[in-house]
Amino acid sequence: MNISFFRKHLRFSGPAGALAVSDDDEVSRRLAMLIVGECEGRGATQAAKQFHFSRQRYYQLLETFNANGAVGLALEPRGPKTDYRRTDQMIRLVIRHRFLDAEASAEVIAQKLRQQGNPISQRSVERIIADYGLQKKTLRA
């Protein structure tokens, strides 16, 4: 059985018909690259080049596919998976400090928390204060 993937038309084609692939379907595009490289015998370099991936990325995707199947080819969000600085405990501490001293600036609160062994930046404290609406009120004349 001979199955081909035509990048120009974004479709898989075989003796019994064709299957269209959406242009923004990254999983199908990655799977097509692996099919071209592994099943059509074109190899990693040629398949990766055809699909605008590096050879290294080809092998990373192949390893992921072998371990997890097509589900492993899905795009995953980059960056931290959790908000490791602004935890629930840290938010409670910032709010507590804000209520204990309403005149304290974010810089002072951050400094106090760091002195207590809590790694937090001034900007994180500012974000917590803004998220919970704890900014100082300004009087208008």
**pLDDT tens, residue by residue, 56-93:** 999 999 999 999 999 999 988 877 777 778 899 999 99
Model confidence pTM above 0.75: no
pLDDT for 25: 85
Burial per residue of 59-91, b for 16 or more beta-carbon CB atoms within 10 angstroms, e otherwise: eebbebbeeeeeeebeeeeeeeeeeeebeeebb
pLDDT for 129: 94
Q: Which residue positions in the chain have pLDDT lower than 70?
A: 1-10, 137-141
Q: Which residue has the tokens 């190899």?
A: 43
Residue 41, SS3 per DSSP = coil
pLDDT for 50: 86
pLDDT for 69: 92
CB 51 within 8 A of CB 29: yes
E runs forming strands in the chain: 4-6, 11-14, 17-20
